Amino acid sequence: MMHISDSHNQKNSLFNAMNRFIGAVNNMDQTVMVPSLLKDVPLDEEEEVKTMSPIRTASNGSATYFQDGGMYNYYVLLKSIRNDIEWGVLQADDRRKEKMGVTALDISRIESDDDDLEKQFHYHLTRLHTVLSKLTRKANTLTNRYKQEIGIRDCGH
């Protein structure tokens, strides 16, 4: 039998956070019938000035930049992250390592940094949960903004 505290903990589980994110992106993907309409449309209505900000940091420390607030860029990013969650990132990581020339020796050095695995795990789990929550909000916002742009009423407000 599930207790009330168990259901609260399950609500905040990583698994549920991933499911909420995937559900929001699937909803966005089903709603956005013409992704090209998203180009040059800011994600936030009041956003007038587009600024550049890093969104993904590669393992070599460089960042991929895109127009902050561009709905099309968020659309592509959110779908890419959903695919990484659903299908795994091993193949994508292997391709990146090949391009960057990462050797087995480099990988073994990274893996030998096992000082406090539990602490590292909890840190990354907390950060992942936070990032998934933010991405879920972005997917929901993008879906609602798309509906506003094409004139669909009852945007879920």
Q: What angle do CA 115, 120, 125 make, to 5 degrees?
A: 165
Q: Express each pLDDT in 13-39 by its tens digit.
A: 999 999 999 999 999 999 999 998 888
Is 63's pLDDT higher than 70?
no
Give the span between the Cα atoms of 129 and 85, in whole angstroms.
Answer: 13
Asked if 67 and 52 touch (Cβ cutoff 8 Å), the reply is: yes
Its pTM stands at 0.64
CA–CA dist 75, 51 (Å, integer): 17
Backbone dihedral region for residue 156 (phi beyond 0: left; psi -120 to 50: alpha; all else: beta): left
Helix (H) or strand (E) holding 57: strand 52-57
Q: What share of the chain has pLDDT > 90, as a percent?
A: 37
CB 143 within 8 A of CB 27: yes
